[in-house]
Amino acid sequence: MTTYHFGRGRARWVPYLLLLPGIFFYVLIALGPSMATAVYSFTDATGLKGAPVHWVGLDNYKEFLFMGQASKDNFAALERTLVFCFFVTTIQFGLGLFIAVLINQNLKGRNIFRTLYFMPVILGAVIQGLIWSLFLFPIGGPMARVLEFFGTRSEFLGGQPSEAFAWVIAIQIWANMGTTMIIFLSGLQTIPTELYEAVRIDGANSWQVFQNVTWPLLTPSVNTNLTLNIIGSLQAWQLFLVLLGYRNGTQVLGYLIYATGFGQTSGSVTSSFRQGYAAAASIILFLLVLVIGMAVQTILRRREVRIMG
């Protein structure tokens, strides 16, 4: 006979009833708009209330993928998005793990370090951008002074697109590393100390302890962090807006979507509101996130089963 946690009879439906508010808000805030975006991507919607919306079929997709040099620029932005994702994910993951292991030790003032490392996370993108714009100010800013000491100089965020892009990668890592670190830290604190004591008695050195105890038992945290880092970096756009604005050679797909959909301009040059086209670009980004996300999930799940059983 089946037993239900909440009892028998009508009580069986209580869990579903309790889930309803969550499902309602999920549909309202996430699933509904996502479905609407998919529909919008086949229209010339402007996003303006009262403006007529026409069905344009695959025109937006054709324009994004195959129309002149603009589509080549879109592919360049796509490539830049993947490069951004790779560097942010790997460095943020590695650094977050390293710092989590470090401040998981019995150090003096470790709570202060935890707070300091996590602090950038609670700042908004605008504040983060302001801090770094000042830090990287090329005329007498702190970083410019350091370079001056070594007899060199840089334009930092306003200079070569590749350099500006690299700075955004660094700032993205700085801004989000705290979350990665906290997830690893919580994972580290679930590992029983007896295991460490046992392998130490067996004569394992620090690296062997990490390799054979810490790393395998951190698998759930590894999976969570990798997934969050990959998806987060593929969708990043706010720091690009705040730090660089609309600059050739620096845009990632997320920022292109924002700029196109909301008529982002340069100075007072007017542009059109093209939310239908931006929706098509969003769907392409969604597919990219989906493919990469699912592939990573599959690999991680297999690894988890292999390690954790």
- Binding part of the chain for another protein, among 49-57, 115-123, 170-178, 287-295 by CB under 8 A, reads 49-57
Cα 210 to the chain's mean position, in Å? 27
Which of 63, 93, 221, 240 is in the footprint of another protein by CB under 8 A? 63
- Binding part of the chain for another protein, among 92-100, 117-125, 169-177, 256-264 by CB under 8 A, reads 256-264
70 binds another protein (CB under 8 A): yes
Cβ at position 109, least distance to another protein in Å: 35
* 3-state secondary structure at position 107: coil
CB nearer to another protein: give 220 or 249. 249
153 binds another protein (CB under 8 A): yes
Q: How far is residue 208's CA from residue 194's CA, in Å, rounded to a whole number?
A: 16
264 binds another protein (CB under 8 A): yes
Site for another protein in 4-23 (CB under 8 A): 6-7, 11, 14, 17-18, 21
Answer yes or no: are the C-beta atoms of 228 and 236 closer than 8 Å: no
Dihedral sign, Cα of residue 259, residue 180, residue 224, residue 18: negative
Cβ at position 123, least distance to another protein in Å: 19
51 binds another protein (CB under 8 A): yes
H or E, element range at 212:
none
37 binds another protein (CB under 8 A): no
Which of 37, 38, 61, 71 is in the footprint of another protein by CB under 8 A? 71
Amino acid identity, residue 115?
A: T
- Binding part of the chain for another protein, among 81-89, 176-184, 222-230, 240-248 by CB under 8 A, reads 240-248
Q: How far is residue 282's CA from residue 254's CA, in Å, rounded to a whole number?
A: 8
Q: How far is CA 287 from CA 31, 133, 192, in A?
A: 15, 33, 40
Nearest to 136 by CA among 162, 155, 150, 163: 155
29 binds another protein (CB under 8 A): no
CB nearer to another protein: give 161 or 220. 161
Structure tokens at 85: 């994702």
- Binding part of the chain for another protein, among 80-88, 148-156, 178-186, 224-232 by CB under 8 A, reads 148-156
- Binding part of the chain for another protein, among 88-96, 150-158, 193-201, 217-225 by CB under 8 A, reads 150-158
151 binds another protein (CB under 8 A): no
Q: How far is residue 271's CA from residue 107's CA, in Å, rounded to a whole number?
A: 56
Q: How far is residue 24's CA from residue 30's CA, in Å, rounded to a whole number?
A: 10
Cα 215 to the chain's mean position, in Å? 23
Nearest to 210 by CA among 86, 100, 112, 87: 100
What is the contact surface with another protein in residues (CB under 8 A)?
Answer: 6-7, 11, 14, 17-18, 21, 46-51, 63, 67-73, 133, 136-139, 141, 144, 153, 155-161, 245-249, 262-274
